[in-house]
Amino acid sequence: MFEYAPAPESASIVDIKPSYGLFIDGQFVDGSGAFKTINPATEEPLAEVALADAGDVDKAVAAARKAFKKWSKLPGKERGKYLFRIARILQERSRELAVLESIDNGKPIKESRDVDLPLVAAHFFYYAGWADKLGYAGFGPDPKPIGVAGQVIPWNFPLLMLAWKIAPALACGNTVVLKPAETTPLTALLFAEICQQADLPPGVVNIVTGAGETGSALVNHPGVDKVAFTGSTEVGRMIARSVAGTNKKVTLELGGKAANIIFEDAPIDQAVEGIVNGIFFNQGHVCCAGSRLLVQESVAEEVLDSLKRRMATLRVGDPLDKNTDIGAINSAEQLSRIRALAEIGESEADRWSPPCELPAKGFWFAPTVFTGVTQAHRIAQEEIFGPVLSVLTFRTPAEAVEKANNTPYGLSAGVWTEKGSRILKIADKLRAGVVWANTFNKFDPTSPFGGYKESGYGREGGRHGLEAYLNV
């Protein structure tokens, strides 16, 4: 048998400190307490991280406000050069950041190395180039920054979400206070070091760590002019309520329950890859994951057989092993949520996972598929945010569209068919911000991303992504 021997990426490239402070006004400072971040693959503590309370957030916002005066006046060309510099350092230190991301988040190194980090650097590179061209972006000849942006990001793509938030904000002349998720603060704090390394003026980027209360203090701070949030629809709703009646500009990138539609004339082998990538990429911790497979009845059996055969080759385990396809679930809390929903699914539909040995320690969930699911089932409605796929069938294009749109979410969708005119028609009909046709889970800094309906509002990426950070 051709067994792959362990091929671990060396963790020695990254130096994790025993403790980290808050990054305020260009300095690491103490917080008002501390919390631990752990490696979800081993449950070992990685570091102590400062906890920011309302007072700390206030200091960070004040630092950002002070820095805004100069930063917003700096010629775009000069702002851009800072961002180019950051992009270059990110490229240079990308392996270190990838390893740290995998350790703190649990995602496989091949993804942090080949997807997250290249996109992070590309995002800074892209928006760096906009900094001195804002007058040509279609928002008037001289668009202005908004002010201080309060940004709250999730744990699924910690550094990538940071890039999506910070790069356009800075390019447009805003300053930021960013709160990473409490389970994945480390790459953001390493990014803070990179800001120092790039001689970014103090206060332009501030990083405050903590959980929901810290985020709430940031979002509700009167000195924040712009709120950007990526995370759950539930928290997004709270934020939308909390900014009501203020002048704060808001963009929200929230949950999803994407349909991935497979027509009978699809390129089946690539569609199966698209299904796998759609739901098992990043352990399914993806807001735009293709978590609802809609497959045409005439090919359902064939597609499911292929899918199961393919799932049996997925390698679950050590995130730092270069051959790992599915890493660790990010936290005990998320694992228990996935388990709870999977148990509900089991009472509703047929559950299947390939034989797969999960490590004894850490948070793990085998790739799972539910067949015989209907739209009435909870696993077809609720975002599971884990490696769990619900399979539904349809008979006609109209039925596929109707089922695909039958959700309060509208972030993304997939459609697979070799028939070009059908793709265009279905793409028109799908109420989702991103439609992947004959592909899935592709991202690019030039490509706007964001949802319809309860998946939030505003777009990140591309020319469109500037709008959220300009006073237009």
Q: Is 403 near another protein (CB under 8 A)?
A: no
* Residues 304-323 contacting another protein, CB under 8 A: 313, 322-323
Q: Measured from the CB of residue 21, what is the shortest distance to another protein in angstroms?
A: 34
Asked if residue 156 lies in contact with residue 285, where contact means CB atoms within 8 angstroms, the answer is yes
Q: Is 463 near another protein (CB under 8 A)?
A: yes
Rg, the chain, Cα only: 22
| Angle at alpha carbon of residue 436, lines to 430 and 438, rounded to 5° | 115
Distance of CA 452 to the CA centre of its chain: 17
H or E element, residue 259: strand 259-262
Nearer to another protein, 340 or 398 (CB): 398
Between CA 125 and CA 453 the distance in angstroms is: 31
DSSP code string of 329-342: -S-HHHHHHHHHHH
37 forms bridges with which residues in the sheet?
47
Nearer to another protein, 185 or 433 (CB): 433
Nearer to another protein, 101 or 182 (CB): 101
Q: Contacting another protein (CB under 8 A), which of 23, 364, 385, 449?
A: 449
Q: Look-up: residue for tokens 């760096």?
A: 128
Piece in contact with another protein (CB under 8 A), picked from 66-74, 363-371, 382-390, 459-467: 459-467
The β-bridge relationship of strands 388-394 and 27-29 is unpaired
Q: Measured from the CB of residue 50, what is the shortest distance to another protein in angstroms?
A: 31
The pair of three-digit structure tokens given for residue 286, joined into one six-digit string:
């993806």
DSSP code string of 395-430: SSHHHHHHHHH-SS--SEEEEE-S-HHHHHHHHHH-
Q: Contacting another protein (CB under 8 A), which of 26, 456, 468, 470?
A: 456
Between CA 227 and CA 95 the distance in angstroms is: 31
Nearer to another protein, 356 or 427 (CB): 427
Q: Measured from the CB of residue 96, what is the shortest distance to another protein in angstroms?
A: 19
Nearer to another protein, 71 or 126 (CB): 126
Piece in contact with another protein (CB under 8 A), picked from 10-18, 60-68, 164-172, 261-269: 261-269
Q: Contacting another protein (CB under 8 A), which of 137, 240, 332, 344?
A: 240
Nearer to another protein, 181 or 252 (CB): 252
Q: Contacting another protein (CB under 8 A), which of 450, 466, 468, 469?
A: 450
E strands, 127-191, are: 148-152, 175-179
Q: Contacting another protein (CB under 8 A), which of 127, 190, 454, 468?
A: 454
Catalytic residue among 9, 253, 383, 460: 253
Q: Is 432 near another protein (CB under 8 A)?
A: yes
Taking residues 115 to 144 in sequence order and writing x for each that binds another protein by CB under 8 A, - otherwise, the string is -------x---------------x------
Q: Distances in Å between the alpha carbon of 338 and those of 203, 286, 335, 346, 432?
A: 39, 13, 5, 12, 24
Q: Measured from the CB of residue 269, what is the shortest distance to another protein in angstroms?
A: 6
Q: Is 357 a catalytic site residue?
A: no
* Residues 323-362 contacting another protein, CB under 8 A: 323
Q: Measured from the CB of residue 199, what is the shortest distance to another protein in angstroms?
A: 28
Q: Is 464 near another protein (CB under 8 A)?
A: yes
Between CA 41 and CA 104 the distance in angstroms is: 9
- What is the b/e burial string over 270-301, where b = at least 16 CB atoms within 10 angstroms of the residue's CB? ebbbbbbbbbbbbbbbbbbbbbbbbbbeebbe
293 forms bridges with which residues in the sheet?
260, 391
Q: Is 297 near another protein (CB under 8 A)?
A: no
Q: Is 287 a catalytic site residue?
A: yes
* Residues 2-61 contacting another protein, CB under 8 A: 2-7
Catalytic residue among 172, 195, 287, 288: 287
Find the DSSP H helices in 312-396: 332-348, 378-381
The pair of three-digit structure tokens given for residue 342, joined into one six-digit string:
């999977």
The pair of three-digit structure tokens given for residue 418, joined into one six-digit string:
């070799």
Q: Contacting another protein (CB under 8 A), which of 18, 141, 241, 376?
A: 241
Q: Measured from the CB of residue 408, what is the shortest distance to another protein in angstroms?
A: 7
DSSP code string of 193-257: HHHHHTTPPTTSEEE---SHHHHHHHHH-TT--EEEEES-HHHHHHHHHHTTTS--EEEEE----
Q: Contacting another protein (CB under 8 A), which of 289, 437, 468, 470?
A: 437
Q: Is 229 near another protein (CB under 8 A)?
A: no
Residues tagged active-site = 253, 287
* Site for another protein, rule CB under 8 A: 1-7, 110, 114, 122, 138, 233, 236-238, 240-241, 244-245, 247, 252, 254, 265-270, 273-274, 313, 322-323, 408, 418, 423, 427-428, 432-439, 442, 444, 446-450, 452-457, 459, 462-464, 467, 472
